[in-house]
Amino acid sequence: MNQFIDWISQPWPWYVAGPLIGLTVPTLLLIGNKTFGISSSLRHVCAICVPAGIPFFKYNWRKEMWNLLFVLGVLVGGFIATNFISNPNDIVIAEQTKADLSAIGITSFSGLMPTEIFDWNNLFTAKGLLFFVFGGFLVGFGTRYAGGCTSGHAIMGISSLQWPSLLATIFFMIGGFVMTHLLMGPLMSWVGF
């Protein structure tokens, strides 16, 4: 059992993890004609919790219960991985990336997350308001506006040859590059890094 825990807690190479993620798409399609995506689960939760007669939330959410169970599995799996089988070694980051992050005030990590941003002490500060609340709103708005999230478009949409998904994924990447290389430094300075 210890050998299995040691093996599973190590980073998996792309040629193992990538195909496993990629095989999710045909598996879901073949088993039940289901599409893969995470952001739609928020709509299902709202339809369950806020039955206010809003037309957007009036649909048979029970038919999508599998999606909520999938998201619950992601949360439980993340908790188990973080608390019981996490890799005790420091995350390996390229030297150039370390230099770029250090230039904007990010020098330490807790697991995969930079502690200068993702820390409970930041939650009720201007930094927390910007990164968690406003950033979360932008992610949620962008997900609805794009008709899905990165996993839905990049994994499911592109693999099923959907042109809008290719376009959405290209713009997700452009947005990430713009944020990382143009906006992150000024934002970090503005909130006090």
pLDDT in tens, the chain (193 residues): 678 877 777 777 889 888 888 888 888 888 888 877 788 888 888 888 876 778 877 888 888 888 889 889 989 988 888 788 877 777 778 888 888 888 877 788 776 778 777 777 877 887 777 778 888 888 888 887 888 888 788 888 888 888 988 998 999 899 888 988 888 778 777 766 5
164 and 191 inside one domain? yes
| Rounded Cα gap, residues 54 and 1, in angstroms | 51
Q: How many domains does the chain have?
A: 2
Contact at 8 Å (CB) between 40 and 147? no
152 and 73 inside one domain? no
107 and 189 inside one domain? yes
Q: Of the candidates 58, 86, 114, which is a domain's last residue?
A: 86
Radius of gyration of the chain (CA): 19
55 and 103 inside one domain? no
Q: Of the candidates 86, 120, 154, which is a domain's last residue?
A: 86
153 and 185 inside one domain? yes
The one-letter amino acid code at 74 reads V
Please tell me the predicted confidence (pLDDT) of residue 193: 59
51 and 80 inside one domain? yes
99 and 180 inside one domain? yes
Domain containing residue 175: 91-193
Please tell me the predicted confidence (pLDDT) of residue 170: 93
Please tell me the predicted confidence (pLDDT) of residue 73: 92
| Rounded Cα gap, residues 185 and 193, in angstroms | 9
Please tell me the predicted confidence (pLDDT) of residue 191: 65
Q: Of the candidates 86, 117, 132, which is a domain's last residue?
A: 86
177 and 97 inside one domain? yes
127 and 160 inside one domain? yes
List the beta bridge partners of residue 59.
Answer: none
149 and 133 inside one domain? yes
8 and 26 inside one domain? yes
Residue ranges in the chain assigned as alpha helix (H) = 2-8, 14-22, 24-32, 40-49, 65-83, 95-103, 126-128, 135-145, 150, 158-159, 163-178, 184-190
33 and 126 inside one domain? no
